[in-house]
Amino acid sequence: MNKHRTKTDSTILDYQSRVATLSKRCGLEANDENYFKKLVEQLLIEKEQISTSTWRKKKAALVWYLEKNNIQDLADSLLAITSEGTLKKPHRTSACKKKHLTKREEDTIRQELESLHDAGDFWGLQLLPITELILTTGLRPIEMKAAKLYINQQELNSEIQDHLEHYSGNYPTLKIRNAKNTNGRSFGEFRYVDLSEVSQRNILAIRLALLHVNKARTTENDSVSFEDYYEVLRKAFSRLVNRLFSDKHKKISLYTYRHQCIANLKSAKTPLSHIAAIVGHGNDLTASEHYGKGRFGRGGAGLVKANPIDVGKVKLLFDKKVNKNLQPTQN
């Protein structure tokens, strides 16, 4: 009887992704005689740095992979290892940050920023369009500095040769340099986000946000690097959030808006491969494992769409990783 017959396709993909990550970290090829043992050792090394829930998921994935390759003795040994020693309460900084915005939180912050904007407050003028930019497009805040808006095909064609090889969506479109590409966690240097169904109000917000970011000035009107500008911007937003929600255990950050964008896309039943293409992930499982849940989303009209060419790159990269790291070595 096949033990794996009851596993759904999504579960198997999840297991493959987790084992592929372990394989990359252990630094051995699948044909090495110590490969399977090293996978287990790598998981045990990580045990003290991960939560009980994550341990159970990674353990289940590795047990499945070992059994799939007929390494039953090692699989049985791993099954016998309990969760004792895992982090009961993760202490990583990310664990203290919110991964979704309630409707009340989103509206409260927007209303406060609108009031500050109308009053001419320096950071209110900038944070209002910047939060809308991240919430709409899901870009990483650090990616704002190299993002560029193209209203029509002529604008894109005037700057990018053979643009049809890179973008096949509608307009306007936002070109974003993938921040995680250098370490292999994305599918290419750039990605494009289709804004054709985004409201004109949000298009204007995106345009204003990019103007502020490109100027990168302080309250003294001094020109600074983007990194220095973003650090001050982040602190200004943190002060505002602390003032509005002083009782919150988990803090809302600018990155929370990226999480909420992904939750909104999930809520609208956007395929994971399309979400990966929109937000610059290297495979279509990252959003499902680490980002906002669909139940917290407010999907509907006006959401961004993926560039079909980028979707193809996501699928190609994921298939390549799986084929490289998960080739069975025993019958």
Q: What pLDDT, on the 0 to 100 scale, is given for residue 8?
A: 80
Give the pLDDT band of residue 307 (cuts 50, 70, 90): very high
Q: What pLDDT, on the 0 to 100 scale, is given for residue 321?
A: 57
To the nearest 10°, report the CA torsion of 274, 277, 279, 285: 70
Domain 94-319 has CATH 1.10.1670: no
% of residues, the chain, pLDDT over 70: 85
Q: What is the mean pLDDT of residues 222-233?
A: 88
How large is the greatest C-alpha to C-alpha distance in the chain, in angstroms?
72
Q: What is the mean pLDDT of residues 211-237?
A: 87
Q: What pLDDT, on the 0 to 100 scale, is given for residue 98?
A: 85
Q: What pLDDT, on the 0 to 100 scale, is given for residue 261?
A: 95
Token pair, residue 230, equals 């973003």
Q: Give the integer Cα–Cα distance in Å for 331 and 273.
A: 32
Give the pLDDT band of residue 185 (cuts 50, 70, 90): low
Q: What pLDDT, on the 0 to 100 scale, is given for residue 1?
A: 40
What confidence tens digit (pLDDT) does each residue in 131-166 have? Answer: 999 999 999 999 999 999 999 999 998 887 777 789
Q: To 5 degrees, how large is the angle CA 159–CA 208–CA 175?
A: 35
Which of the given ranges, 5-19, 92-106, 163-177, has the highest pLDDT on average? 163-177
Place of tokens 């005037």: 158
* Domain residue limits, the chain: 9-91, 94-319
pLDDT at 2 over 60: no
Which class for 6: exposed (0-12), middle (13-18), buried (19 or more C-beta within 10 A)? exposed
Q: What pLDDT, on the 0 to 100 scale, is given for residue 241?
A: 95
pLDDT at 326 over 50: no
Residue 207: what residue type? R
